Structure 1
Amino acid sequence: MSSYKALLSVFSHDRVGLISDITGTLFDLGVNLEDTSFAVLGSGGGLTSILVVPDDMTPNHVAGEIAALSGFENADIDVKRLSLPESDTPPTDITHRIKCEGQDQPGLLARMTEVFIDFEANIVRMKSDHIEGEEEDHFITRFSVSIPEHKADACLTTLGNITERLGQKLSFEKVG
């Protein structure tokens, strides 16, 4: 049976069983999941996934089946057929896991992520958590990155200098 790939995005109030309801419905439809991620975002939960959808099923049908589930009345659900042309992509092999934490401030992610560009490092995964504190808000960001081996030391040193100026504590580990 022929198929196409689509991007699924669901944002809903978080609750127990949210992921199971979505993935079970997709299974029942004959839709296969590829790369998938979920995160609690504020009081909601966000799931994104690359889907392999049978050709005879429209993206609107898939979205409608999820929207019809109990508890998804106010959910934002989007299914879009992927149409990215084949092209060269940056490396996705994770060479380093990096953690930055400290006081939250505007522009924090922008300053940290700009460092990776200068060293041709690709962010493969990123997760940031904003934690409200009694005295100040705390921000924790975790990166899984692919850094060219010959640029890794300079990249991490530069990132350390930037994060220190931003009041962040940096830690990292080499993978593999």
Structure 2
Amino acid sequence: MSGLALVSTFCPDRVGLVSAITGHLFDSGINLRDATFASLGSGAEFSAVCELPGGLSVDAVQASLSAVPELAGAQVKVTPFAFDPAPGPQTLVTHRVEVSGGDQPGLIARLSDIFTQFGANIVRLDAQTLPDRSGERYSLRFSVAIPPERAEVCLSAVANTAETLSLNCKTESL
């Protein structure tokens, strides 16, 4: 019987990192379920819910993953995963929302509060500071599950907030 584990790594970003991590996990007989990777400044973070084959402990996975050359100096953490790995209805993305423009302190808090008010669940969030001709541009992308009966008013509230702050807002229904 397999067990579930959460595998998390944080280290300097480099080419081949995802390949090295996922290749090592595959070679160890580990099946990936939900997984994410992100460059964060000059660092990189990888996290995945993993199905461990019988007899393979989280300590053994952590030790072997820590020995992968591409993860030299990385923070590697492998822990039992106690949640249901099957996605629930609140994780099914119904809309993507992108807001961009000048950096606004508190923007993520403000927009996430709007989603909360309308019963929307944030499934993924990505925020980046990007170079722009006029300096820097802040780009924020949400993948959200919005209840159908609240979608129109929720997206209007997000768009109105972005407009008030002189930001661009694009929405996509899936």
CA contact (8 A) 2:9 2:47 kept: yes
TM-score calculated relative to the size of structure 2: 0.90
Give the SS at the match of 1:128.
strand
Matches within 5 A, 1:20-31: 20-31=19-30
Aligned residues: 173
Aligned partner of 1:39 in structure 2 is: 38
Aligned partner of 2:68 in structure 1 is: 69
Letter in 2 for 1:5: L
* Percent of paired sites with the same residue: 38
Provide the aligned C-alpha RMSD in A: 2.0
Aligned partner of 1:142 in structure 2 is: 141
Letter in 2 for 1:63: Q
Instruction: Tell me how far 1:38 sits from its aligned partner.
Output: 1.0
The yes-or-no answer on 1:103 pairing with 2:102 is yes
CA contact (8 A) 1:108 1:166 kept: no
Letter in 1 for 2:11: S
Which consecutive aligned stretches of 4+ in structure 1 deviate over 6 angstroms post-superposition? none
Matches within 5 A, 1:26-175: 26-84=25-83, 91-133=90-132, 135-175=134-174
CA distance in 2, matches of 1:129, 1:147: 23
TM-score calculated relative to the size of structure 1: 0.89
CA distance in 2, matches of 1:5, 1:112: 33
Give the SS at the match of 1:15.
coil
Please say which of residues 164-173 and 127-136 is displaced more in the overlay: 127-136
Unmatched runs of 5 consecutive residues or more in structure 1: none
Letter in 1 for 2:118: F
Give the SS at the match of 1:40.
strand
Unmatched runs of 5 consecutive residues or more in structure 2: none
CA contact (8 A) 1:95 1:174 kept: yes
Instruction: Tell me how far 1:55 sits from its aligned partner.
Output: 3.6
CA distance in 1, matches of 2:69, 2:92: 39
Letter in 2 for 1:30: G
Please say which of residues 113-122 and 58-67 is displaced more in the overlay: 58-67
